[in-house]
Amino acid sequence: MVFRPHRRSLGLKPTRPLVSALILSLMLSTTAFNPVQPQAVEAKTAPRPDLGDAPDSNNNFAVAMQYFPSSGSAQFPTVFFAGTQPTGPKHFNTQTLYFLGTSSIGGGITCEDQADVGADCDGPNNLDPGANVADQDRGDDGPDWTSLGPITGCQPMQYKYLVTVLPGAPTTAYVNSWYDFNQSGRWGDIFPCGRFTVDEWIVQNQLITFPGPGVYAFATPVFQAAQNPSTDRRWARITLSDTPLPNTVPSHMGSGPAQGWVLGETEDYQLLN
């Protein structure tokens, strides 16, 4: 269950068996839905930087944030600190060429220059550390989390997501994703689950390609998931970017490059799965 009732659902059925998941991944890897409308393209030429909105205790106010009520300190890298690691992923988007989902809010990207201070096109900052409030980016609509299905143990899973591509965009992009299965308040843990090993960096530099402008559906590669019986929320992140992440500790934690990305978008979600 997602804490955002207004999010769109594609109505696609969950896939649990490994064979079915692999087949579905191939079937849904590049499915076009509809072309981008000319008026929408015109509205996306202004710079629209983007950051995530997961709680981050390393913020500009030096205030510890919790990842759910009465939890410990949230250590999800969200606030951008140029030149340092770990840092929140930032996409500068001097021109918006592709983004997650199909949201019309802010041209799909809500143009915030920082996660917890400054102007934000959709109103509130993504984070309000003093009030321990996160999840305030109103343009998040890329993943279809219902396609993940309920996590009932140690099992291979995948989910689906949408990408909108505008004229002039590169023909390729990279997708990364993280999931705090064990509710530790951070990403990047690697731990055993039955006879399997779970890596919370669930999607690592998935290369996707676009034949041209349009809205496309993709499925992540199959990853190993782990059930946590707690009823408290978990945090997940998906990032669309123009370059891949290196295989480093900050990358495993959900960090972006120290100097940010040129293009793309990061979306964070509170889940009860």
Whole-structure pTM value: 0.86
Residue 231: per-residue pLDDT: 85
Residue 45: per-residue pLDDT: 65
Residue 41: per-residue pLDDT: 42
Asked if the peptide bond before residue 86 counts as cis, ω within 30 degrees of 0, the response is yes
Task: List Cβ neighbours of 53 (8 Å cut-off, separation of 6 or more).
Answer: 78, 115, 126, 127, 134, 135, 136, 137, 140, 268
CA angle 209, 171, 28 (to 5 degrees): 20
Segment-wise mean pLDDT, segments of 10 residues, the chain, 273 residues:
34 33 38 43 70 98 95 97 95 96 76 96 96 96 93 94 96 98 96 95 98 96 92 94 97 97 97 84
CB 223 within 8 A of CB 157: yes
List, in sequence order, every residue forming a beta bridge with 73; answer none if it has no partner.
66
CA nearest to 202, candidates 260, 261, 269, 263: 269
Residue carrying structure tokens 């023909």: 171
